[in-house]
Amino acid sequence: MSENTVTQVHNISPLELKEYILEDFREELKLLAKNFQPVKPTEYITRQEARKLLKVSLATLSEWNKKGIIKPYRLGNLIRYKRAELDQALIKINH
């Protein structure tokens, strides 16, 4: 069952109503833009970059791969590491 609903607005012109709505909408957009945090793309780094970042040898890097301390990702025949995961591994290693 459908009801017809009528809303009446007194003492305001359609143009004024439109401006009030737009003003509120703009304020909401400003709030959203202020609190917006863009998603950062995943940064993959090479074994050499990971070695330099962690200040270890490639042999140590390979051992950590085997022990599960860090997780390597294979992209074709290349090995890459997620930068964020290496940062987390550093925190765990230091504790």
Mean pLDDT, consecutive 10-residue segments, the chain of 95 residues?
Answer: 78 91 94 84 93 92 91 92 89 71
Number of domains in the chain: 1
> Does a structural domain hold residue 90?
yes
> Does a structural domain hold residue 55?
yes
> Does a structural domain hold residue 19?
no
> Does a structural domain hold residue 72?
yes
86 touches 50 (CB < 8 A): yes
pLDDT of amino acid 75: 86
pLDDT of amino acid 19: 94
pLDDT of amino acid 90: 80
> Does a structural domain hold residue 30?
no
> Does a structural domain hold residue 79?
yes
**Residue 73 lies in domain:** 44-94
pLDDT of amino acid 88: 87
